[in-house]
Copies of this chain bind each other. A is one copy, B any other.
Amino acid sequence: MGINWEQVCEQSKRRLRGSAIRDLLAITTQPDIISFAGGLPAPELFPVAAVRESFDRVLRDHGADALQYGPTEGFLPLREWLAERLSARGMRATPDEILITSGSQQALDLLGIVLLQRGSTALVEAPSYVGALQAFALREPGYLPVPMDDDGMIVSEASGLLEARAGRVELIYTVATFQNPSGVTMSLARRQALLEVSDRFGVPLIEDDPYGDLRYDGTPVPAFRALAGGADAAYLGTFSKILAPGLRLGYIVAPQPLIRRLVLAKQGTDLHTDNLAQQAVHDFVRHNDIDQHIVRIRDVYRMRRDTMLAAMERYFPPSCAWTRPAGGLFTWVTLPESVNAAALLREAVGQKVAFVPGVGFFTDGSGTNTMRLNFSHAGPERIEEGIKRLGEAIAEHLALAQAHRVAALV
A binding-site residues for B, Cβ under 8 Å: 1-9, 11-12, 15-19, 22, 25, 38, 40-41, 43-44, 46, 48-49, 51-52, 55-56, 59-60, 63-72, 102-103, 105-106, 109, 113-115, 117-118, 131, 134-135, 137-138, 170, 198-204, 232, 240, 244-248, 255, 257-258, 261, 264-265, 267-277
A105 contacts B59, C-beta separation under 8 Å: no
A43 contacts B65, C-beta separation under 8 Å: yes
A270 contacts B106, C-beta separation under 8 Å: yes
B55 contacts A59, C-beta separation under 8 Å: yes
B43 contacts A52, C-beta separation under 8 Å: no
- Given A59-B51, A113-B12, residue A268 in contact with residue B17 (CB < 8 A): yes
Q: Output the least CB separation between A175 and chain B (Å).
A: 16
Q: List 12 A-B contacts (CB under 8 A).
A: A1-B201, A4-B202, A5-B257, A8-B115, A16-B261, A22-B72, A48-B64, A51-B59, A55-B55, A102-B273, A103-B271, A276-B277
Q: Which B residues lie within 8 Å of A203 (CB)? A: 3
Q: Name the CB-closest residue of B to A250.
A: B270
Q: Output the least CB separation between A230 and chain B (Å).
A: 11
Q: What is the CA–CA distance of A275 and B43 in the complex, to the nearest angstrom?
A: 14
- Given A43-B67, A114-B16, residue A248 in contact with residue B269 (CB < 8 A): no
Q: Which of B5, B49, B198, B273 contacts A258 (CB 8 A)?
A: B5
A46 contacts B22, C-beta separation under 8 Å: no
Q: Name the CB-closest residue of B to A134.
A: B268
Q: Which B residues lie within 8 Å of A56 (CB)? A: 52, 55-56
Q: Which B residues lie within 8 Å of A200 (CB)? A: 1
Q: Name the CB-closest residue of B to A69.
A: B245
Q: Which B residues lie within 8 Å of A202 (CB)? A: 1-4, 7-8
Q: Which B residues lie within 8 Å of A9 (CB)? A: 114-115, 257-258, 261
